[in-house]
Amino acid sequence: MTWDFSTDPEFQAKLDWIKTFVEEEVEPLDVLFPGCEYLPLDDERRAIVDPLKQRVRDQGLWAAHLGPELGGQGFGAVKLTLINEILGRTDWGPIVFGTQAPDTGNAEILARFGTDAQRERYLAPLLAGEVFSCFSMTEPQGGADPGVFTTRAVRDGDDWIITGRKYWSSNAAVASFFIVVAVTDPDVPIHRGASTFLVPAETEGLVIEASHHLFGAHRHEPGHSLVRYESVRVGADALLGVEGGGFEVAQSRLAGGRLHHAMRSIGVAQKAVDMMAERALSRETKGSALADKQLVQAAIADSYTELMPFRLAVLHAAWLIDEYGEHAARTDIAALKVLTPKVLQSIALRAIQIHGGLGTTEQLPLVDMLMTGLALGLADGPTDVHKMNLARRLLKDYEPDDPEWPTQFLGRRLDAARAKYADQVASVPSVPDGPPIRS
Ligand SMILES: Cc1cc2nc3c(=O)[nH]c(=O)nc-3n(C[C@H](O)[C@H](O)[C@H](O)COP(=O)(O)OP(=O)(O)OC[C@H]3O[C@@H](n4cnc5c(N)ncnc54)[C@H](O)[C@@H]3O)c2cc1C
């Protein structure tokens, strides 16, 4: 029996190093270069960021989400959680450590489905931290229902011609390549009729019509783009995975990505709790500290009560992946996809309230955390849809029973108990006022 919540001392030393490094070296970048994480490095930023990345590499911590065969560390998901919860406290942390979304998920599918040539062309520079990528699937007319997707890829000789529009293509404005999901066979259901293509950003016909931003986002952020694919011609070698396998590729990307968001969100929520506690102890009103007011205490206690089981649930899902593979964690990841935005929103709202008016300004990162919570309730699919999927998954483990009297109805349990111990129990009381039970 092993069920161990401790961190081995060797890895704890690495976590301690990460924590100090992030606080002292990385967090200053958040205020010096806000919203610039995904911009190509100019000379000034490169002079600071490249040496930091090198220190991460020297510590053997670069691209911690990947296996060693891909230049990562092969830490596994539990250790990655412990790293990502620290990195989640900063905007620049994931970039400096080579673990930023959506590039992590894109790297994973390139590794899983890419040919040698595709890996060399797209994955290698991505892993080197030199380029950014874009996953282009959602369409303007709908994202939650892939059945409404109309972007088509049609064969022309050996080539493919892609035509259509995509929306919410994050980082399109800075990406050097796009992973595009397009319908290749409209006569079968979309989960068998879509394929995935690798399209370099400079390909003729790929036009960024507009880039939209989350409310309050910094003006430098590349945002989420409306992209037009106007008869974009790519070669046969652009197909990622097999024809008709686009949904398998997309799904395999999303499961890991959702858990990575949850890992980083632990750090975001913990930061909000830390800020709440500091403010409550520092600010006085009506003759005593905010921390002495029972409702403020309740806000802090409620926040911890949400954060603590959330963190354990993320670690547990990560442990399932390490022990049994990603498939075994699917239900837990689905539950975490629902829980992550809920926990973030709830804790961020309390932290804003406790900081008073200041909490609502751009001078503190709290509204940003709230926006992250709202966005995570939509990115990678809306909470409502995930709840339904989760319920369907859970219901598979159950069978229907008697429509009138459930198995836990006292009368049924009593009948069963009587039958089992009929020889030993002389008199068993009947159900008070109970309806007649069918035999
Ligand atoms: C920050 C952010 C980043 C994103 N990045 C990317 C990206 O890089 N690439 C990409 O392709 N997409 C990306 N998306 C898009 C995201 O996947 C979609 O927003 C999401 O799938 C929902 O699609 P929609 O916005 O069109 O909402 P709709 O599909 O219009 O759904 C709107 C609402 O309707 C309800 N609803 C929808 N379907 C159902 C249902 N079956 N049952 C009950 N209620 C339902 C839900 O309340 C849902 O929130 C991103 C989104 C955000 C917010």
| Distance from residue 160's CA to the centre of ligand 1 (Å) | 27
- Exposure string of 215-254, with b = 16+ CB inside 10 Å and e = fewer, is eebbeebbbbbbbbbeebebeeebbbbebebbbbbbebbb
What integer pLDDT is reported at residue 70 of this predicted model? 78
290 and 328 together in one domain: yes
Pocket of ligand 1 (CB under 6 A): 102, 135-138, 142-145, 168-170, 224, 375, 378-382, 384-385
263 and 370 together in one domain: yes
| Distance from residue 173's CA to the centre of ligand 1 (Å) | 20
| Distance from residue 122's CA to the centre of ligand 1 (Å) | 27
137 and 214 together in one domain: yes
> 108 lies in a domain?
no
What integer pLDDT is reported at residue 426 of this predicted model? 73
Nearest CA to ligand 1 atom 39: 385
* Average pLDDT, rounded, for the chain: 94
227 and 284 together in one domain: no
> 417 lies in a domain?
no
What integer pLDDT is reported at residue 431 of this predicted model? 57
> 427 lies in a domain?
no
Which residue from 133, 253, 378, 388 has its CB within 8 A of the most atoms of ligand 1, so it is best to mutate? 378
Mean pLDDT in each 10-residue stretch from start to end of the chain (439 residues)? 89 98 98 95 96 97 87 89 97 96 92 95 93 97 93 97 98 98 96 97 98 92 97 98 95 84 97 98 97 98 98 97 93 96 98 98 97 96 96 97 97 93 75 55
> Could you give the 3-state DSSP secondary structure of residue 133?
strand
- Total structural domains within the chain: 3
267 and 231 together in one domain: no
341 and 374 together in one domain: yes
Q: In this predicted model, what pLDDT tens digit does every residue of 295-346 receive, in sequence order?
A: 999 999 999 999 999 999 999 999 999 999 989 999 999 999 999 999 999 9
Nearest CA to ligand 1 atom 18: 143
Ligand 1 atom nearest the C-alpha of 141 is: 26
What integer pLDDT is reported at residue 295 of this predicted model? 98
Domain boundary among 56, 81, 100: 100
Domain boundary among 188, 213, 240: 240
Nearest to 303 by CA among 261, 366, 358, 368: 366
148 and 18 together in one domain: no
Ligand 1 atom nearest the C-alpha of 138 is: 11
> 117 lies in a domain?
no
Domain residues for the domain of 350 are 251-395
Residues in contact with 235: Cβ distance below 8 Å, sequence separation at least 6, in sequence order: 158, 159, 160
Residues in contact with 40: Cβ distance below 8 Å, sequence separation at least 6, in sequence order: 174
298 and 341 together in one domain: yes
261 and 230 together in one domain: no
> 164 lies in a domain?
yes
Q: Are 102 and 133 in contact (CB under 8 A)?
A: yes
Nearest to 49 by CA among 61, 73, 32, 65: 32
Q: What is the CATH number of the domain that holds 18?
A: 1.10.540.10
What integer pLDDT is reported at residue 41 of this predicted model? 93
Q: What is the CATH number of the domain that holds 193?
A: 2.40.110.10
236 and 145 together in one domain: yes
Residue with tokens 């060693």: 68
57 and 188 together in one domain: no
> 411 lies in a domain?
no
Q: Are 177 and 198 in contact (CB under 8 A)?
A: yes
273 and 390 together in one domain: yes
> 163 lies in a domain?
yes
Q: In this predicted model, what pLDDT tens digit does every residue of 208-256 receive, in sequence order?
A: 999 999 999 988 899 999 999 999 999 999 999 999 999 999 988 877 7
> 222 lies in a domain?
yes
Residue with tokens 């910094």: 218
Nearest CA to ligand 1 atom 16: 379
